[in-house]
Amino acid sequence: MLTRKQYELLMFIHERVRESGIPPSFDEMKDALDLKSKSGIHRLITALEERGFIRRMEKRARALEIIKLPDNVAETARPATTRNQALRMSPGRHGRGAASDPRAGGNPRRSMGEGEGAINVPLLGRIAAGTPIEALQNKMADVPVPSGIIGRGDHYALEVTGDSMINAGILDGDTVIIQEVDTANTGEIVVALIDASEATLKRLRRRGDSIALEAANPAYETRLYGADRIKVQGKLVGLIRRY
């Protein structure tokens, strides 16, 4: 699952390589995505590399190799031919512009704020992407989410506070869409309830009889708990960002 910015960057790199055979520079990527600094590009590239979409080759200038593309692009064999097309195919931003979910084949969809093609998901409060804070709250509001994000089962939304997951493309103030499950595979990003009192958003790693909750920011340490202290309350399936 890619965030909108990750998807935009991947398609921009792909199109540039397809046209010229040379990946864009960091400055070109920064300008194309309207970011203020190259540090944001570094984070996006790291996230794409971790997800297996690109590979960085050491000791070579502009050494980025596309390994795979999102399913809808690979299946149709018709990648976006301009940056505007890539933007139109990217996941919808909350309440702005026409967009589509990448997994939905790139067909235009009204913005989530307009309601067409969207499903209301309950917003249950805030979740810490940092030091664990209070557990989930009661329903605060409804959040319209593109139907392509929603799979089987129940889903809910949470507002992210903190920056411990920034290298996974999850920023302070984002709204994450969570599929309600009580189990998760190692490596998945989950809502974890610690000691039935504190909830946090982290990557789950199983280590024997213990569970590690791993941040995506080197400023935060990985925390290790006994398996009986952790209850999975859902796993990440989507993200909404306001601008």
Half-sphere exposure of 115 (CA within 13 A, CB side): 1
Question: Rounded to the nearest 5°, which phi and psi values hold at 88?
Answer: -65, -30
DSSP per residue, the chain: ---HHHHHHHHHHHHHHHHHSSPPPHHHHHHHTT-SSHHHHHHHHHHHHHTTSEEE-TTSTT-EEE----HHHHHHT---SSHHHHHHHSPPBTTBS-B--GGGTT--B--GGG-TTEEEEEEEEEEESSS-EE------EEEEEETTT--SS-EEEEEEESSTTGGGT--TT-EEEEE--S---TT-EEEEEETTTEEEEEEEEEETTEEEEE-SSTTS--EEEEGGGEEEEEEEEEEE---
Indicate which residue of 164, 197, 210, 231 is catalytic. 164
In order of 96, 124, 187, 205, 238, the CA distances from 109 in angstroms are 11, 26, 31, 36, 16
Indicate if 147 belongs to the active site: no
Report strand pairing: 230-240 vs 175-179: antiparallel
Respond yes or no: is residue 202 known to be catalytic.
Answer: yes
Catalytic residue among 5, 30, 111, 202: 202
Residues with catalytic annotation? 164, 202
